Amino acid sequence: MPFQIRFHPTYNPHSYSLIELPTAPDEFPDCLSIKGLPDDDAVLCTNDTTYAVRNVQLSNSLLLISPSSDNTDDSEQTWSVHDNLSSIIELVRCLPRLERLNYLLDTNLYAGYEAESQHSQVCTTDQFFAFQRHVAIGCHRNFAPTSHGIHSDSVNHQASLYTWEDLQTLVQASDAELRKGLRDRNAILIDGHYRLLHPVYFHTVLDTLITSATAEDMPLEALRLVDCSRSLQEHDIPPEIVRHCLRSFSDPGEGWKQEDEGNDDEVYALSEVKVCQFLGLRLLTAERVREIMEPDRVYDIVGAHGSRSVYRIPGHAEGDTHVVTEGHHLLTYPHTDPSNPNARLITHFSYTDLPLDPARRFAELFAARKRWTADEIQPYIADLVVDKKKLDAVLLKHTRTVKEKGPSGQMMTVYTARMK
């Protein structure tokens, strides 16, 4: 059937934008939100996924048309052109941009009721929106928080507290990814605001918990919340902090579920891996560099469990050894002590302190060490991709590979920086 195409009377170029969905429209969620501060690259979030928003130029013009309202069955069909598009918006699944969450939560660490009563303040509306701008600039320039928060002359963000709605506005992540980010960082909801416990206070609570449990013959693999709360009450540690500590250092199981709100009947089994990792990181961050005189153990902690290595978990087979500080330390051989050629230096170097941008991440990695083996570099780049199968592509783009002879005499792959 013949037809005509005419420009609509209200034709206005570039007044529409078309979004190419990654799935069929009926399979795509109805609840969508676009997030980002003025200096951010926008992302589109569903309930559980984050998509990067990209403008893709088209080689041919794309006309947006609709049937004319004056068409009849007998007349020649007329279509009205509403817009002439030269680009479309493409949605590409990406990692949640949780880097800003670290800055926000580090601004006011919870260190107990006594410390809280001395300087507790919820941020005002003006502070909140001023800090939005400040955090956006800080993250863009890769400013790092200090023990007193991110420096600012105009915003007292050390006293800033953030609700769930605040974090939804500031952090470019879906609700499910944001909740996971809060769990991974051991954030706790206190009086409607998400907080991180100060490491020293967190360590004190954990130490008091294990010491009290040992003194009262409570099995560490079956700690009842009600018993622990009663035991730590005399140390002025509130029940919600006790529950948070137990959840942070236990794995979900029959005694409790991750999604549960919590009740006094919960039973927890402390995880050796989580406890040792926390204590190991506390040692590394406190001393930064430590000499290791024994090649198979980094440092021993003598506590309620007896001797526990923060580098390796005892009792595992040699091929199944779990490195609990993997991705948080570097090992070097200084060769300064001829009497002990196996002595090594362990230095705190955590992937959580590195930028999420791949180019900047690899720049900092190769600034810290010129050559990396596959096993060494993998923990530091695993969080750069959604699909782990794409790690090889990331390495190919940002590194060059060379073959070298390893300590055992076998050839191994080593990654170095690309020549500019």
Pick the closest to residue 31 from 43, 21, 46 (CA basis).
46
Residue-level pLDDT at 147: 31
pLDDT at 64: 87
Dihedral of CA atoms 343, 348, 354, 359 in degrees, nearest 10, equals -20
DSSP secondary structure letter of residue 149: B
pLDDT at 336 over 70: no
Give me the mean pLDDT over the 277-285 stretch. 84
Helix (H, G, I), strand (E, B), or coil: what is residue 287?
helix
Mean pLDDT of the chain: 78
Tokens of 180: 């996971």
Q: What is the CA radius of gyration of the chain?
A: 27
pLDDT band at 153 (very low <50, low <70, confident <90, very high): very low
Q: How confident is the model at residue 284 (pLDDT cuts 50, 70, 90)?
A: confident
- pLDDT-based confidence at 193, cuts 50/70/90? very high
Longest dimension (CA), the chain: 101
pLDDT of 26 higher than 80? no
Q: What are the distances in angstroms from CA 269 to CA 41, 72, 220, 222, 248?
A: 43, 75, 6, 5, 11
Q: Which of 348, 344, 199 is nearest to 285 (CA)?
A: 348
Which region among 37-41, 117-121, 299-303, 410-414 has the lowest average model confidence (pLDDT)? 299-303
pLDDT of 118? 67
Q: Is the pLDDT of residue 234 over 70?
A: yes
- Determine the Cα–Cα distance for residues 64 and 59; give it in Å rounded to an integer: 16
What is the sign of the dihedral through the CA atoms of 104, 110, 114 and 115?
negative
pLDDT(260) > 50: yes
Task: Please state, in angstroms and rounded to a whole number, the distance separating the CA atoms of residues 329 and 345.
Answer: 10
Question: Quick check: 255 pLDDT over 70?
Answer: no
The model's confidence at residue 71, banded by pLDDT at 50, 70 and 90, is low
Q: Measure the CA–CA gap between 318 and 308, rounded to whole angstroms.
A: 16
For position 317, what pLDDT does the model report?
Answer: 40
* Average confidence (pLDDT) over 60-75: 76
Provide the β-strand partners of residue 64: 83
Is residue 345's pLDDT more than 90?
no
> Domain limits of the chain?
3-94, 99-195, 199-270, 354-420
Residue 90, beta-bridge partner list: 20, 54
Please report the pLDDT score of residue 253 as a whole number.
67
pLDDT for residue 214 is more than 80: yes
From the number of C-beta atoms within 10 Å of its C-beta (0-12, 13-18, 19+), residue 169 rates as middle
Q: Which residue has the higher pLDDT, 141 or 94?
A: 94
CB of 350 closer than 8 Å to CB of 328: yes
> Residue 285: what pLDDT?
81
CATH number of 354-420: 1.10.10.10
DSSP-based helix, strand, coil % in the chain, nearest 5: 35, 25, 40
Neighbours of 215 (CB within 10 A): 10
pLDDT at 133 over 70: no
Q: What pLDDT does 239 receive?
A: 92
Query: Could you give the percent of the chain with pLDDT greater than 70?
Result: 73
Q: How many other CB atoms are there within 10 angstroms of residue 283's CB atom? A: 19
Strands 19-20 and 77-94: parallel
> Is residue 331 predicted with pLDDT exceeding 50?
yes
Q: Residues, the chain, total?
A: 420
User: What is the C-alpha separation between 268 and 221, in angstroms, rounded?
Assistant: 7
Say how far apart CA 416 and CA 371 lie, in whole Å: 5
Least confidently predicted of 97-106, 152-161, 368-377: 152-161
Query: Got the DSSP string for 96-117?
Result: -B-HHHHHHHTTS-B--HHHHH
Q: Write the CB contacts of 351 (distance below 8 Å, at least 6 apart in sequence).
A: 327, 328, 379, 380, 381, 382, 383
Q: Please list, in sequence order, all residues whose beta carbon lies within 8 angstroms of the beta carbon of residue 122, skipping any fewer than 6 positions away.
A: 159, 160, 161, 193
Q: How far is CA 172 from the centre of its chain?
A: 12
Q: What local confidence, expressed as pLDDT, does residue 201 receive?
A: 93
Region of 261 (left: φ > 0; alpha: ψ -120 to 50; beta: rest) is alpha
d(CA 22, CA 259): 29
Dist. CA 194–CA 221, nearest whole Å: 28
What pLDDT band is residue 325 in, cutting at 50, 70 and 90? Answer: confident
Q: What is the mean pLDDT of residues 309-314?
A: 43
Strand partners, 250: 270
- Enter the DSSP assignment of 38: T
| pLDDT of 414 higher than 80 | yes
230: confidence class by pLDDT, cuts 50, 70, 90:
very high
- Structure tokens of 229? 């709360």
pLDDT of 158: 44
The residue ranking higher by pLDDT, 132 or 14, is 14
Residue 291 predicted with pLDDT over 70? no
Q: What is the predicted pLDDT for the residue at 148?
A: 31
